[in-house]
Amino acid sequence: MAVAGRLSLATRNASLATPSTATSSKITTQIEVIPCKICGDKSSGVHYGVITCEGCKGFFRRSQLPTVSYSCSRQSNCTIDRSSRNRCQHCRLQKCLAQGMSRDAVKFGRMSKRQRDSLIAEVERHRQQQQQQQLQVDAQSGLAYHTKEREDCSPQLLQPMTPAYCSGESELLSFTSDVHPYLLCTPNQPQVSDMIYRSSGVSPSSRAHMRGDTSGHSEIRDELCDSIVRSNKDTCQYRAEELQALKWKVFSREEMQAYQSKSVDEMWQHCAVRLTDAVQYVVEFAKHIPGFRLLSQNDQIALLKTGSMEVVLVRMSRVFNAENNTVFFDGKFAGTEVFKSLACGDLIAAVFDFAHSVCALKLTDQQVALFSALVLINADRPCLEDRGKVLCVQRSVELGLTHILHRDNRDSLMHKLYQRMSVLRSLCSLHTEKLRWFSQRYPLTAHCLFPPLYKELFASEAELMLLPGATH
C-alpha cells in the first residue's frame, strides 16, 4: 500500500509536467551517471556545453567575469580532479575550455535530436561499464547481488553499517550501492603518527623517548594542524580573491523579486541543492582530518550526519559580508529578503545573526580550519559505536586549536568558540524543525525531489512516515 501510494503521487505529479520538461528531467537523471568531465565528481547535467558537476559549473561561470584573471605557478599542466580542482584555477579553466565549455554553448534543453541521441548513447555505454565493473567487484568479494531488486529499490536513508576489514590492510571490502558515494570514506590511509613516521616503523612516542624530549609530540601536533588547514583550504568552495572581487555585487530589485515569487517548495528545493553542494565540500574536508578515516564507517557517517550542517554554517562566515549583512548565494550577495519564500524567517534571521557573530571574532583561516574540525569531531554525538576513539581524535584537534590560539595570543577566543558551538546546535535543531514542517506540507518534494545526500543527512524516519500511504 505504501508503494502504491507513492507511485500514485509520482504519476499524478508527472502528468502535470510538460512533455519537454519530463523528457529533459529524465535525460538529466540519466546523465548523472557520467562523472564530471572536468574533475570526475558526480555530474548534475550539461552545463555550458559539457557534462559537469555543480562545482565546475559555478567555477566556469565565475571565471568569465571581466575582473577575473588566473595564472599557474607551475608548468600549466596541473592534474585536475575532485581533490585538486581548487589548487590551480588556471589549469582548471584551461581544462574546461579544452573539454568544450563555452558561454555561447547551447544549453541541454536546446540540444538537437542528434546531439541528444549521442548523449544518451554515451550514458548507456557508461552505465554498461558500471554494471560490468560492479559484477567483477561482486564476484571478487563473493557477494551475491540481485540486480533487479537493487534497481527497483528506492534510495535508502543512511543506516549504521558494520565495516568489514581485511586483516593487516584495514581496507573496506565492500559497500552497498544505497549509501551515498560522498559518505564512503575508506579508512585505508595512514593517519596522525603514521602519516609522519610512515617509513620508520617507530612510533612517535618511542622516537620522542629515544631523543629524551617532547619535540615528537610538537611535531605531531604541528603536522595535524597543517593537515587540517591544508584540507580546509583545498575544500573551500570559493577563493578569498573571488569573493573580494564580488563583494559589492548584490541582487537587483527585479532579481530579488524573482526569488520571492518562487513557491515555498520550489525555493526549498533550490536551497537544498545549494546546501548539498556545500556539504559535499565538508565531507571532503572531513576525510582529510587526521584520524577521521580510522574511525568505523558507522561513526564517520554519524559525525557527518550531525556535524556537516554545523560546519557549513561556520564556513558561511567566509562568504558573509558583515558591512551590508549579505551572504554569497547563486553568484551574488543576498540579504535575508531573498529567502522570504522559504517561509521560515526566524531560521534565516538566526543563521545571518550567527554568521555576523562569527565574523566579529575576526578568525584567521587557520583558526577557522581547526574550529571547523572541532565542530565536526564531537564525541557527544548520538549513535557512535566507539566513543572513546572519537574522543581521542577530538582531543587531538582540540589541542591543535588551543596551540594555534595561544600562538596567535588569542587564548580568550576558546571560550567564545565553545559558545558558538552551542548556538550551532540550536540552529541545526531549528533547521530540523523547519524541515519536519516542510515535509508535512510538501511530502512529495521532500521525499522525491530533494538531493539524495540532503535526505540522507537531514531527513529522518519520522519524515518518511508522513508520506501518504505509508504504513505505521
- C-alpha to C-alpha distance for 250 and 247, rounded to whole angstroms: 8
Q: What are the φ and ψ backbone dihedral angles of 328, each rounded to 5 degrees? A: -70, 125
The pLDDT of residue 195 is above 60: no
Task: Answer yes or no: are the C-beta atoms of 103 and 64 closer than 8 Å.
Answer: yes
Q: Name the band, by pLDDT with cuts 50, 70 and 90, for residue 122.
A: confident
Query: DSSP for 272-311?
Result: HHHHHHHHHHHHHHHTTSTTGGGS-HHHHHHHHHHHHHHH
* 3-class state of residue 38 by DSSP: coil
- C-alpha to C-alpha distance for 92 and 96, rounded to whole angstroms: 6
Specify the pLDDT at position 212: 44
User: pLDDT, tens digit, for every residue of 43-53?
Assistant: 887 888 888 88
* Domains present along the chain, CATH in parentheses: 26-141 (3.30.50.10), 189-464 (1.10.565.10)
Task: Answer yes or no: are the C-beta atoms of 278 and 314 closer than 8 Å.
Answer: no
User: pLDDT, tens digit, for every residue of 73-99?
Assistant: 888 889 999 888 888 999 999 999 988
Specify the pLDDT at position 166: 27
Q: What are the φ and ψ backbone dihedral angles of 383, each rounded to 5 degrees? A: 65, 25
Alpha helix positions (H), 100-214: 113-141, 147-152, 192-196, 204-211
**Predicted TM-score (pTM) of this structure:** 0.57
Q: What are the φ and ψ backbone dihedral angles of 261, each rounded to 5 degrees? A: -85, -5
- C-alpha to C-alpha distance for 50 and 356, rounded to whole angstroms: 38
C-alpha cell at 149: 531488486
Find residue 328's DSSP bridge partners: 333
Q: What is the CA radius of gyration of the chain?
A: 23
C-alpha cell at 431: 533547521
Element (H, E) at 332: strand 332-334
Specify the pLDDT at position 400: 95
User: pLDDT, tens digit, for every residue of 425-435?
Assistant: 999 999 999 99
CA atoms within 13 A on the CB side of 24: 13
Specify the pLDDT at position 188: 39
Residues 6 or more apart whose CB falls under 8 angstroms from that of 125 comprise none
C-alpha cell at 53: 558537476
